[in-house]
Amino acid sequence: MPYIDTHCHFNFPIFAQHLTRSLGAIRQAQLQAIVTPATQADDFNSILSLARSTPEIFPALGLHPLWTAQHHDEDLDRLRHLLDNHDDIVAIGEIGVDFYTAELAALAPRQWEILSVQLRLAKEYSLPVILHSRKSHDPLSKVLKDAALPAAGVIHGFTGSYQQAKRFIDLGFYLGVGGSISYPRANKTREALARVPLEQLVLETDAPDMPLNGYQGEVNRPERVVTVCQILAELRGESVEKIRDCVWQNSLCLFPKLSAVLS
C-alpha cells in the first residue's frame, strides 16, 4: 500500500525548482498523493498549475493566519472565483488561527474574520478544511462546533492534549500526525496520539517545515512521511502495516476528491 502526505508545501522553491529530483524521491518512497495547501493568494495559480502537471499533487487553496497582515478582502473574492472554476481543489486550506506571538494575537479579530469567511466557503462548496491551530485549540474548537461543517477537515500538525484531541474528534475532525511525535519531550501530544482512535488520524510532513528529531536544521521532505508512520506505529504499539493501511483509508475519507482518483 502506498502513502499519502496530507500536508506538504510542494510548491515551495526547494521542491518546485528541482521537480524531477523531488518527484523521483517521492515515487521511490511510494508516495502516491501529496495534498499541497496554499498560504497566500499568490500561491493559488502556482499550486493549481503544479497539480495539473503532476498527478501526485492535489491542490488546497486558502489564506494562512501567519500572513494575516498581508491578506486582503479581494483575496477571498479570488478564492471564491477559483472554487467556482476549478473542481480539482480538494480542500480549503491552509486556514486557521495562530496566537503564538504578541503580534499575531493583536491580529486576532482579523484572523477570526478571515477564518469565518473561509469556513463559510467550505460549507458552501462542501469541502473539508485544513486547519492551522497554534495556541488556539480551545477557542477554535468552539468556533468549529458552531460552524457545523458538512465535510469537517483536519487539525494540521496537532500538538495538543488528549482532551483537546477528543474535542476535535467529537466534532468529526481528523488529526494530522507529523514530525512533532518524533520528539521525546512532546509527551502530551505523543500520549494523545497514542490514545485516540486510529480511524481519526492522517499522516503529514508539513515539508519543508516541521523536521523530525535527528534532522533539525535540515529541509524536511515529503518522503519522510514513511518515517512518521513508523514512529506512530511504535508509539501506539501497532504494526506499520496496520497504521499505513488505516491512515490511507482515513485520508481518502477526509478528502473525497482523492478517493475519486486513487480508489
| 8 A C-beta contact, residue 11 and residue 43 | yes
CA 48/CA 53 separation, integer angstroms: 9
Q: What residues form the annotated binding site for a divalent metal cation?
A: 7, 9, 94, 132, 156, 206
CA atoms of 246 and 249, how far apart (whole Å): 5
Q: Length of the chain in residues, anyone?
A: 263
Binding-site residues sit at 7, 9, 94, 132, 156, 206
Beta bridge mates, 61: 92
- Cα–Cα distances in Å, from 151 out to 33, 60, 76, 113, 225? 20, 14, 20, 21, 24
